[in-house]
Amino acid sequence: MHQALVGSSNTGHFIQKPTKMVPQFLFSFSLILSFLLYCPPTLAQSPAAAPGPPGPANVTKILEKGGQFSVFTRLLKATREDVTLNGQLNNTNNAITIFAPSDSAFSSLKPGTLNSLNDQEKAELVQFHIIPQYLSSSQFQTVSNPLTTQAGSGGRLELNVTTAGNSVNITTGLTNTSVSGTIYTDNQLAVYQVDKVLLPVDIFTPKPPPPAPAPEKTKKGSKSAESPDTSVDNSGAVTFKCS
């Protein structure tokens, strides 16, 4: 409220008369309140956490992404070798190379080949395609034969690799094939495509019979089975001794 002086020229007296004024402080308060309601203060956001290191490669997912390894993937799962492989790859000290047969490679087998195998033989067949070391394409030229597989090494489980230029050939004694492509590779896992199933001699040829037992040796000092009262001469006649 503001008071103004009002005077009269006739009387010479001045009278204070209240006048109205826009309350500017109320306008300012309303403006501030509106700002607080519609423009809330922005809180400082913590920076997003940096992504952690990538996990180990999953063998079955890699093969499924490849699109033509369904039979080999089923064998890995049925024999639980996929669990073994993924467990090994969780340890950075382990490295793996896999020769993965394509579906067409399994189709070229004689009908009923896989069904004729027992569970142990199926596991051995899968393990025969797995090398417990990382082999890049260039390392095939210097690797020592025979290669050690997850199933074993040498003898009836022999697996040899030779190179000719950029070609990598694999022989098992029953199978002769070559690496036809690279499916996946990093510094720990390498997966290569092969167009034939690697057949180990240990499974697909008859096992040799066990050796015959050695004859028993005659004990020293054993007496003749003949009667002490008889003797045999060279003519075959038996002579009786009379006491």
State pLDDT tens for residues 196-234: 999 999 999 887 777 777 777 665 555 544 445 545 455
Tokens of 30: 């309303």
Confidence of residue 121 (pLDDT cuts 50, 70, 90): very high
For every residue of 59-120, which 3-state class applies, written as one string? Answer: HHHHHHHHCCCHHHHHHHHHCCHHHHHHHHHCCCCCCEEEEEECHHHHHCCCCCCCCCCCHH
Over range 99-116, report the average pLDDT: 96
Q: Is the per-residue pLDDT at 53 higher than 60?
A: no
pTM for the whole structure: 0.66
Residues in CB range of 241: below 8 A, 6 or more apart: 229, 230, 231
